[in-house]
A and B are shown apart, each in its own frame.
Chain A
């Protein structure tokens, strides 16, 4: 079975739950376990939050969520046209955050990597960021 979806929404925090629920609903076609659904929801929430908080610095913009299913493999692509990431390796380090306060954990990419089979980040400063994640559903 092959299926694709594309969803574009405003980069505001109200849409974090919307995005992860949509992702979970689409993924449900692969008959995932409750744990696999939770992994997908969390990973999507992390990537979308990054776009809202870091790419657009909470000033709005659009986030694009694309998903595809091929047999039991789910591909999730989350992209923005925000400010981009200067140093991707550094951004993906556990506990790294550009936040100067105490509120951000710097664990977003680490959580994505731990919950998904693969996470690939492409970014260009001033142009935006694309996060590509894959997960095989065992069911």
Chain B
């Protein structure tokens, strides 16, 4: 699991690479928390192009960070989901809160 980010203006783009399951969830949560706390972005975009696997533990992490960002007035988006992750987002209804952008 590897996370990197770039900031442009008020938008932080976070690239999550590898597998997001219960094993890696704590690390991903901590990294996202750090980015939100230190960069204070008004928009956070999760680029999932290189995320090879995700299960419902990942849903829990993304939802919890979405709520954190929302409390501080920010918004979160996702982009470049692979077929499996897209299916998981549809099944779980996650697209209702995390909008997909191009």
B4-12, B37-45, B59-67, B72-80: which lies at the interface: B59-67
Are A16 and B61 CB-contacts (below 8 A) given A42-B88, A49-B55? no
Cβ–Cβ contact A111 & B23, under 8 A: no
Q: How many A-B residue pairs have CB under 8 A?
A: 70
**In the docked arrangement, what's the CA distance between A13 and B27, Å?**
13
**In the docked arrangement, what's the CA distance between A111 and B55, Å?**
8
Q: CB-nearest residue of chain B relative to A52? A: B22
- The winner among A34, A38, A107 for most chain B CB atoms within 10 A is A107
Are A103 and B55 CB-contacts (below 8 A) given A13-B22, A16-B21, A17-B23? no
**In the docked arrangement, what's the CA distance between A114 and B53, Å?**
17
Interface bits B11-35 vs A (CB < 8 Å: 1, else 0): 0000000010111010001000000
Q: A60 CB to closest chain B CB, in angstroms?
A: 14
**In the docked arrangement, what's the CA distance between A8 and B57, Å?**
22
Which residues of chain A from 90 to 139 have a CB within 8 Å of any chain B CB? 101-105, 107-108, 110-111, 114-115
Cβ–Cβ contact B55 & A110, under 8 A: no
How many residues of chain A get a CB closer than 8 Å to chain B's CBs? 26
Any chain B CB within 8 A of the CB of A14?
yes
Any chain A CB within 8 A of the CB of B92?
yes
Cβ–Cβ contact A111 & B21, under 8 A: no
Cβ–Cβ contact A16 & B56, under 8 A: no
Are A107 and B23 CB-contacts (below 8 A) given A41-B53, A42-B84, A102-B67? no
- Cβ–Cβ < 8 Å partners of B84 in chain A: 35, 38, 42
- DSSP class of A's interface residues: helix, strand, loop or mixed? helix
- The winner among B19, B21, B63 for most chain A CB atoms within 10 A is B21
Cβ–Cβ contact A105 & B21, under 8 A: no
Which residues of chain B from 50 to 102 have a CB within 8 Å of any chain A CB? 53, 55-57, 59-61, 63-64, 67, 83-84, 87-88, 91-92
Given contacts A13-B23, A49-B22, 7 further A-B contacts (CB under 8 A): A13-B21, A42-B88, A53-B22, A102-B63, A107-B91, A111-B91, A115-B91
B: residues with CB less than 8 A from A are 19, 21-23, 25, 29, 53, 55-57, 59-61, 63-64, 67, 83-84, 87-88, 91-92
